[in-house]
């Protein structure tokens, strides 16, 4: 059980969530996109939101600024979140646009709002669960897609709900967060995604 819960913290790490949401979008949307375009967008988003942040993490770890990929201490979150906000802005400006990919554009806009909120909370010494923030945002996005396109995504949504519960249990088991920090992370991930629905749903 300990191995499963520890693995959940890695498998459902917040860095995976933007790419996971994008992949699920292209797998489920009834809109037609040429295969080369899909591959190019997935690669670009993987580079911007996954590979570059991982390299940046190792740089910060080498410099002694962070100690683990989970950013356990509040003081460790400043530079990673600030850099991630910059990458999200670049992604919105150069990789996605609101005309061709409105769903994805506003999904990433919601992620940006959540990240900005998490960054501002650093200065008030409030720690939130970034894992729950990522899971909540991605789950809400998939639910919105199922409503917008009238898709039967019950199994995907059920999996995300179960994964969210497993992730929350993992973070509590590892003593990484309190229940309040998990709840704050969940709503900070959820509310921006609900807010941006008015622009594309």
Tell me the per-residue pLDDT of 39-52, one tens digit each, with 9 for 90 and over.
Answer: 999 999 999 999 99
Find the mean pLDDT for residues 40-66: 93
Position 2 confidence tier, pLDDT thresholds 50, 70, 90: confident
Do residues 17 and 136 make contact, with C-beta atoms less than 8 angstroms apart?
no
Place of tokens 């520890």: 6
- Global confidence as pTM: 0.94
pLDDT at 192 over 90: yes
Sign of CA dihedral 93, 99, 103, 104: negative
Find the mean pLDDT for residues 32-40: 94
Q: What's the pLDDT at 68? A: 81
CA distance 137 to 125: 23
Length of the chain: 201
Both tokens of 87, joined, read 């990458």
CA distance 72 to 181: 12
């Amino acid at each position: 059980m300990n191995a499963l819960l520890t693995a959940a913290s890695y498998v459902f790490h917040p860095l995976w969530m933007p790419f996971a949401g994008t992949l699920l979008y292209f797998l489920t949307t009834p809109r037609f996109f040429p295969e080369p375009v899909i591959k190019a967008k997935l690669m670009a988003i993987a580079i911007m939101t996954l590979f570059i942040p991982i390299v940046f993490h190792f740089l910060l770890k080498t410099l002694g600024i962070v100690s683990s990929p989970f950013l356990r201490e509040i003081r460790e979150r400043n530079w990673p979140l600030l850099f991630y906000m910059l990458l999200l802005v670049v992604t919105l400006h150069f990789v996605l646009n609101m005309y061709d990919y409105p769903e994805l554009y506003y999904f990433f806009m919601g992620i940006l709002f959540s990240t900005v909120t998490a960054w501002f909370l650093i200065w008030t010494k409030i720690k939130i669960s970034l894992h729950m923030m990522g899971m909540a945002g991605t789950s809400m996005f998939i639910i919105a897609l199922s409503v917008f396109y009238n898709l039967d995504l019950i199994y995907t949504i059920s999996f995300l709900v179960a994964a969210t519960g497993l992730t929350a249990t993992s973070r509590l088991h590892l003593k990484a967060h309190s229940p309040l920090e998990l709840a704050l992370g969940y709503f900070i991930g959820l509310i921006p995604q609900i807010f941006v629905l008015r622009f594309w749903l």
